[in-house]
Structure 1
Amino acid sequence: MNKKYRKLPRNTDYSAYRHPRWWPTWLGIGLMWLVAQLPIRCQWWLGKLVGLLAWRLARSRRHITEVNIRLCFPELPAAQQAALVRKSFIANGIGLLELGLAWFRDPAKLTDITQVHGLEHFEQALAQGKGVLLLGGHYSTLDLGGSLVTEYIHADVMQRDHNNPLMNAVMTRARERRYGTVLGAKDLRGLFRSLKKNHAVWYATDQDYGRKDIVFAPFFNIPAGTITATSRIAERSGCAVVPFSHVRRDDGPGYEIFFHPALENFPSGDDLQDATLINSTIEREIRRAPDQYLWMHRRFKTRPDPEAPGFYGRS
Structure 2
Amino acid sequence: MLSRIDVALAIAFLKFLAVIPYGITARFGDGLGWLFYQIPSRRKRIVHTNLKLCFPEWSDEKRENIAQKHFRHAIRSYVERSVQWFGSAKKLDKLIELDSAVDLTDPDLPPTLFLGFHFVGIEAGSIFLNYSLHRQCGSLYQPFSNPQVEELAKAQRARFGVDMASRADNARIVLRWLRDRKPVMLGADMDYGMRNSTFVPFFGIQTCTLTAVGRLAKTGKAQVVPFIGEVLPNYKGYRLMIYEPWQNYPSGDDDADARRMNEFLEEHILEMPEQYYWVHKRFKTRPEGETSFY
TM-score range, shorter chain: over 0.9
Matched, 1:136 2:116: yes
The 3-state SS of whatever aligns with 1:152 is helix
Aligned length, in residue pairs: 291
C-alpha spacing 1:252/1:28, structure 2 compared with 1 (3 Å): closer
Q: Which string of whole-angstrom CA distances, capped at 9 and with x for unpartnered residues, describes residues 112-147 of structure 1?
A: 3422112436678x8463x11111112212222222
Note the C-alpha offset of 1:253: 1.4
The 3-state SS of whatever aligns with 1:156 is strand
**Paired residue for 2:72?**
90
Once the two structures are overlaid, the 10-residue window that deviates more, 232-241 or 101-110, is 101-110
Q: Which string of whole-angstrom CA distances, capped at 9 and with x for unpartnered residues, describes residues 90-125 of structure 1?
A: 11121011111111111332323422112436678x
The 3-state SS of whatever aligns with 1:177 is coil
Counterpart among 227, 231, 250 of residue 248 in structure 1 = 231
CA distance in 2, matches of 1:122, 1:282: 22
Counterpart among 165, 175, 182 of residue 183 in structure 1 = 165
The residue type paired with residue 145 of structure 1 is G
**Paired residue for 2:204?**
221
C-alpha spacing 1:104/1:49, structure 2 compared with 1 (3 Å): same
C-alpha spacing 1:222/1:122, structure 2 compared with 1 (3 Å): farther
CA distance in 1, matches of 2:270, 2:77: 18
Structure 2 contact 104–132 (Cα < 8 Å) conserved: no
Note the C-alpha offset of 1:278: 0.9
Counterpart among 278, 281, 286 of residue 264 in structure 2 = 281
Unaligned runs of 5+ in 1: 6-20
Note the C-alpha offset of 1:311: 1.3
CA distance in 2, matches of 1:58, 1:174: 32
The residue type paired with residue 56 of structure 1 is Q
Structure 1 contact 121–262 (Cα < 8 Å) conserved: no
Structure 2 contact 23–236 (Cα < 8 Å) conserved: yes
CA distance in 1, matches of 2:153, 2:132: 21
Q: Which string of whole-angstrom CA distances, capped at 9 and with x for unpartnered residues, describes residues 205-257 of structure 1?
A: 11111222321111122111011111211111110000111101114412111
Structure 1 contact 208–226 (Cα < 8 Å) conserved: yes
C-alpha spacing 1:185/1:58, structure 2 compared with 1 (3 Å): farther
Note the C-alpha offset of 1:282: 2.1
Runs of 4 or more off by more than 4 Å in structure 1? 121-124
Matched, 1:106 2:88: yes
Structure 1 contact 209–227 (Cα < 8 Å) conserved: yes
CA distance in 2, matches of 1:149, 1:163: 26
Structure 1 contact 98–141 (Cα < 8 Å) conserved: no
Matched, 1:301 2:284: yes
> Structure 2 length normalisation: TM-score?
0.92
The residue type paired with residue 78 of structure 2 is L
The 3-state SS of whatever aligns with 1:133 is strand
C-alpha spacing 1:262/1:123, structure 2 compared with 1 (3 Å): farther
* Map 1:40-189 → 2, pairs under 5 A: 40-120=22-102, 127=108, 129=110, 131-153=111-133, 154=135, 155-187=137-169, 188-189=171-172
Once the two structures are overlaid, the 10-residue window that deviates more, 275-284 or 148-157, is 148-157
Structure 2 contact 26–235 (Cα < 8 Å) conserved: no
Structure 2 contact 130–162 (Cα < 8 Å) conserved: no
The 3-state SS of whatever aligns with 2:162 is coil
The residue type paired with residue 238 of structure 1 is K
C-alpha spacing 1:127/1:279, structure 2 compared with 1 (3 Å): farther
Counterpart among 150, 165, 179 of residue 196 in structure 1 = 179
Note the C-alpha offset of 1:33: 1.5
The 3-state SS of whatever aligns with 2:159 is helix
Once the two structures are overlaid, the 10-residue window that deviates more, 109-118 or 200-209, is 109-118
The 3-state SS of whatever aligns with 2:66 is helix
**Paired residue for 1:11?**
none
Calculate the aligned-residue CA RMSD, in Å.
Answer: 1.9
